């Protein structure tokens, strides 16, 4: 039975002693997640292909809450050798991790299906997308999520052992999918939306199959958040800006703005800390899926 003081924010969401790894942690949603966890006491390792970006992110966003943001890598998550090296390197530093956030991703090619004549529609899509671009989108957004998760299962399970059976489901994986994987509107991104739909289903598969290891798997399906993927740029602190008017131009965002970085942080900490949530896809989309059919 919980006493009232146990419902304080500090008790519910403190991440002191928590160890996390975030792929694609140098910018965008990965950096937001890392900041949120570190600000609440976690030691957060961030990895990605660009070591300079990782180091700059860690230097620019040193937390005051007792946690740390630590660059590690570089790592190309589409390569098993890189993933195994990352596991080996992290194992030299930590006996376990409590959270793996599979966040690395790419946007893929874009081809707007605006033509009503079939010949013109074929030309529009056929000429603006390639098989190679589709393959790369799935390789980064789906295949790498699976192999990253599999690579870190032992380190995740190790987090349970020092604390005994009562700590089951304390470790978890969070995948970054997208509202785009839950909607029927292609948005001109057939490969990206299809890949994110696959990430959603992969999350459910891993959640079910990884239960035997006592590791939870959930997914965050973001809407429009400021990131390199949505704005194609970052500033000198690895941050991006997405003005409200740019979001309003889309005409299907009830919130009439991009998501706040803090709102993404809230969602990450909730999924990381709530051991009774497993196999869920949490859309953080400003109400878009209430407007566009899913």
283, β-bridge pairs: 221
What local confidence, expressed as pLDDT, does residue 165 receive?
Answer: 59
Q: Could you please report the per-residue DSSP string of 202-219?
A: HHHHHHHHGGGGTEEEEE
Q: Kindly state the tokens that stand for 217.
A: 């798997």
Whether 33 contacts 22, CB under 8 Å: yes
196 tagged catalytic? yes
Q: Could you please report the per-residue DSSP string of 260-288?
A: PHHHHHHHHHHHHH-TT--S-EEEESTTH
How far is 39 from 148, CA to CA, in rounded Å? 25
Place of tokens 């419902």: 7
Tell me which architecture the domain covering 11-291 has in CATH: 3-Layer(aba) Sandwich (3.40)
What local confidence, expressed as pLDDT, does residue 86 receive?
Answer: 98
Which residue out of 34, 171, 172, 177 is catalytically annotated? 177
How far is 127 from 213, CA to CA, in rounded Å? 46
270 tagged catalytic? no
What local confidence, expressed as pLDDT, does residue 293 receive?
Answer: 83
What local confidence, expressed as pLDDT, does residue 48 receive?
Answer: 97
Which residue out of 43, 196, 239, 273 is catalytically annotated? 196
Which residue out of 171, 180, 192, 219 is catalytically annotated? 192
Q: Tally the C-alpha atoms within 13 A of residue 206's C-alpha that lie toward its C-beta.
A: 29
Per-residue pLDDT of the chain in tens (294 residues, 90 and over written 9): 899 999 999 999 999 999 999 999 999 999 999 999 999 999 999 999 999 999 999 999 978 768 999 999 999 999 999 999 999 999 999 999 999 999 999 999 999 999 999 999 999 999 999 999 999 999 999 999 999 999 999 999 999 876 655 677 889 999 999 999 999 999 999 999 999 999 999 999 999 999 999 999 999 999 999 988 888 888 888 889 999 999 999 999 999 999 999 999 999 999 999 999 999 999 999 999 999 987
């Amino acid at each position: 039975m919980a006493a009232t003081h146990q419902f304080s924010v500090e008790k519910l969401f403190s991440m002191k002693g928590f160890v996390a790894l975030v792929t694609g942690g140098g910018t965008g949603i990965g950096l937001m997640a890392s900041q949120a966890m570190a600000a609440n006491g976690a030691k957060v390792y961030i990895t990605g292909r660009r070591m300079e970006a990782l180091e700059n992110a860690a230097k620019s966003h040193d937390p005051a809450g007792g946690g740390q943001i630590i660059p590690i890598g570089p790592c190309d998550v589409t390569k098993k050798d890189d993933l195994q090296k990352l596991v080996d390197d992290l194992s030299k530093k930590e006996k376990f991790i409590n959270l793996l956030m599979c966040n690395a991703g790419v946007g893929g090619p874009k081809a707007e299906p605006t033509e009503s004549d079939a010949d013109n529609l074929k030309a529009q899509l056929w000429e603006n997308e390639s098989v190679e671009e589709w393959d790369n989108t799935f390789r980064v957004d789906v295949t790498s999520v699976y192999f990253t998760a599999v690579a870190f299962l032992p380190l995740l399970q190790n987090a349970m052992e020092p604390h005994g059976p009562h700590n089951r489901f304390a470790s978890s994986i969070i995948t970054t999918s997208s509202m785009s994987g839950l909607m029927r509107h292609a948005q001109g991104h057939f490969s990206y939306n299809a890949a994110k739909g696959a990430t959603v289903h992969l999350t459910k598969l891993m959640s079910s199959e990884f239960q035997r290891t006592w590791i939870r798997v959930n997914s965050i399906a973001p809407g429009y958040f400021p990131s390199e993927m949505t704005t194609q740029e970052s500033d000198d602190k690895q941050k991006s800006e997405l003005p409200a008017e740019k979001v309003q131009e889309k005409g299907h965002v009830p919130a009439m703005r991009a998501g706040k970085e803090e709102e993404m942080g809230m969602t990450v900490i909730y999924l990381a800390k709530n051991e009774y949530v497993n196999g869920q896809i949490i859309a953080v989309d400003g109400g878009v899926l209430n407007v566009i059919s899913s």
